Amino acid sequence: MSTTNLLKGKKGIIFGALDEHSIAWKTAEQVHTHGGEFVLTNAPIAMRMGTINTLAEKTNATIIPADATNLEDLQKLVDESQEKLGGKLDFVLHSIGMSVNVRKGRHYTDQKYDWTEKGWDVSALSFHKVMQTLYKSDAMNEWGSIVGLTYIAAQRVFPDYNDMADNKAYLESIARSFGYFFGRDKKVRVNTISQSPTPTTAGKGVKGFDDFISYAEKMSPLGNATAGDCADYIVSLFSDLTKRVTLQNLFHDGGFSNMGVSQAVIEGFSE
């Protein structure tokens, strides 16, 4: 792995590092390697369960708890992060997802709607809340970069992804809609990365995940993108090398999204 200083002098906030498998965890490690400084944040409850202190020590980061659905928490996070880091922010990673219907095994055709709303708030609307807080506080430097994480179930049917498919479609739309205003008014870019299935706590919560990840692996000419690969891609989107990439949903999936079928998958059906 390269140790160039692509993010030297840049400051930011990383949401969603739960444990060493998390995409946000790998991203924090890579951003640190590339010279970026940041605040780590997660929901207070996840902090009690997780091992985020280890990551903070390793990456010289401060931890500020925030529930990403709570506007007061977000305002405090944005204010304190700027104080701590000594200025405005250059990058923000939103790496947050949770569906109560998925967690509790409730089928898509039998949703409990207060759970649906909770999952939507955490997984989709929180992206708007984070951006609105940053925008109103004028907390981002020009040519800053905001990234959210998504999955191809926003465009195609993956039945067991349940209501997360709808949450991801909403999240991707927010990236475009808010990205317009952030670009026009503050010269900040906003993109989502559509990542391969990845063995994390959130990923493994989806029914049939093990079979599914093998299927995606066989379908993708380059194989599944790992959490580490995703971290590298995020570093590139935080760097000045991608200054005019915005309003995009960027597939980071080993080629999966443009495949119809692969030889490896077809062979499973031959007699």
Residue ranges in contact with ligand NAI by CB under 6 A: 15-16, 18, 22-24, 42-43, 46, 67-69, 95-98, 122, 149-151, 195, 197-198, 200-203
Shorter beta-carbon distance to ligand NAI: residue 20 or 79 = 20
Q: How far apart are CA 133 and CA 86, in angstroms?
A: 18
Q: How far apart are CA 257 and CA 110, in angstroms?
A: 29
Shorter beta-carbon distance to ligand NAI: residue 111 or 249 = 249
User: At its nearest, how many Å lie between ligand NAI and the CB of residue 193?
Assistant: 8
Shorter beta-carbon distance to ligand NAI: residue 81 or 141 = 81
What lies within 8 Å, CB to CB, of 153 at 6+ separation is: 161, 164, 165, 168
Token code pair at residue 262: 């692969």
Shorter beta-carbon distance to ligand NAI: residue 144 or 203 = 203
Shorter beta-carbon distance to ligand NAI: residue 13 or 141 = 13
Shorter beta-carbon distance to ligand NAI: residue 32 or 186 = 32
What is the maximum span of the chain, computed from C-alpha positions, in angstroms?
65
User: At its nearest, how many Å lie between ligand NAI and the CB of residue 91?
Assistant: 16
Closest by CA position to 42, among listed 31, 53, 26, 33: 53
Q: Which residue is nearest to ligand NAI (CB)?
A: 203
User: At its nearest, how many Å lie between ligand NAI and the CB of residue 16?
Assistant: 4
User: At its nearest, how many Å lie between ligand NAI and the CB of residue 236?
Assistant: 17
> Which amino acid is it at 117?
E
> Which amino acid is it at 204?
K
User: At its nearest, how many Å lie between ligand NAI and the CB of residue 139?
Assistant: 18
Measuring CA to CA, how many Å separate 112 from each of 109, 115, 118?
10, 5, 10
Residue ranges of alpha helices (H) inside the chain are 23-33, 44-49, 52-59, 71-85, 100-103, 113-120, 126-136, 164-186, 201-204, 209-219, 227-238, 263-267
User: At its nearest, how many Å lie between ligand NAI and the CB of residue 198?
Assistant: 4
